[in-house]
Chain A
Amino acid sequence: MILVQDVHKRYKTKRGVGKWVLRGINLVIPTGRSVGLIGKNGAGKSTLLRIIGGVDYPTKGKVVRNCRVSWPMNGGGLEATLTGRQNAKFTCRIHGHQADLEERIQRIEDFAELGTYFDEPVQTYSSGMKARLQFALSMAFDFDVYISDEATAAGDATFVKKAQKAFDDAVNRASLIMVAHNEAKLKSFCQSGIFLYNGKAIWYEKIDDALAAYRESIQ
């Protein structure tokens, strides 16, 4: 379970403090339920994901994680000058998997299906390839909740199918918190939804209801 308690966030900008991006988010996100995060561009979806993932901090309020939460897969975690393999090795090592490194790297390589690009620097990757690698990397570790910002949705159709299968296989042990703008993808991955609007979050038990609320707000 992840508890989000009265989370406020604003960033410092060159001209002092910026405006509030999040203003009082209260959520209880149960484990074992995949959740789609919906909202306009700039609604604070990525910010909230980063705060839930523990790599950014709320200006006010707090997040309690009672489960193993993955790092947010949004662009972070990959060093552009290193190859896919080097990034994979680094990620395995900092998670304490030195002993079974080879085996895990093999799993990541197989899952990402990057071919010879696995040994090329990440800066040469397309966004879809980066998404594949990021997804493969986080799936190589056992988390209770995986956090994905567009990453899962950025791959092509074959990869999305594969990612979905990986999640279906892991459905009893893991869930997903994801951001996506594609309704079909959200529906196929998630059961519940969070709708972000004006810095507040509304929890919907069913993803369809969250999508309906979102559609209503942009009309």
Chain B
Amino acid sequence: MLLNPAILALLGVSAIVTLLVGAATAFGLHLLREWDIASGSELQLRLERRTYLIATLVAFSFVAELVSLLLFVYNAEAMHTQFVGAMCATGVLNVNPWGWPTLFLKIAVFFTGAVWLALNHLDNQGHDYPLVRVKYGLLLALFPLVLAAGAAQALFFLGLRPDVITSCCGALFSPESAGVAAEVAGLAPARAALALAASGALVLGAGSWVLLRGSGGGPFGAAGLLAFVVAIAAVVSLVALYVYEHPHHHCPFCVLKPGHDHVGYWLYVPLFAATALALGAGAVAPWRRVPSLAHAVPGEVRRRTRLAVIGYALFYAVATYAILRSNLTMTDVWW
């Protein structure tokens, strides 16, 4: 293992977050068994009071997880000088088999956390704790995810050995090799562009529908998730090539480097934020039938959808701009 402060911080944060979410889950189990809103018993009063603490703990944990996701990627990028063969975060994540699972699990925790926070925010607006069971049920499902992310990260950092020769983005994201990354990289640019445009139209259309008609939050959430997956694939197989002005360089991390004007941040931050908001809108929308929430749900869905649509629009605008301003010309080859 490499003893560096960022690694120590990441390990510390995930240990504490796992502990907090674990405590919250234990409380969730207790609550699911004993909760009875109609009762005026001392136990019920204690449970009600404790939900404030748990909600604060979980909200805090997810915010910490979000920051630690950023730190994880940033740290992987910064550590590439310490491994032979690594030129960016891809090489570092490839040093041992736990790098990529950690990243994916952290992203999964981020999105489920966003959904939980959306439900929690909505629940706080109903006077009779209408979603309390849903929230704590979701927490039971979430805890294994947090635990897995923490364990994968610990295994990744403990297994980092500087004498390992790793392979970086040039090797991993090439259509000739095998695996998911290669499949994504091997996607024909024309097809990727088409898929990106179609998913963009779908998600922006669904968003506009929600804003105009005030319904369809669920489908918008689903469209957002689809748009996210397509967008990541398109960044690898299409947008990155134009950013690097190189028809074979598919790396999703090198776009974050200063040499490319940090364009990666302009792509990823709006995309991740918009997807989190869209998923939140999708999770909130079905609860309009609950009497105590009937008033709050439409406003919540609309607010999240509006912000999500702005985020997606920004992402598509930046992606288009990156392609248009590039000096790479592939007419008659791809188009």
A binds B: no
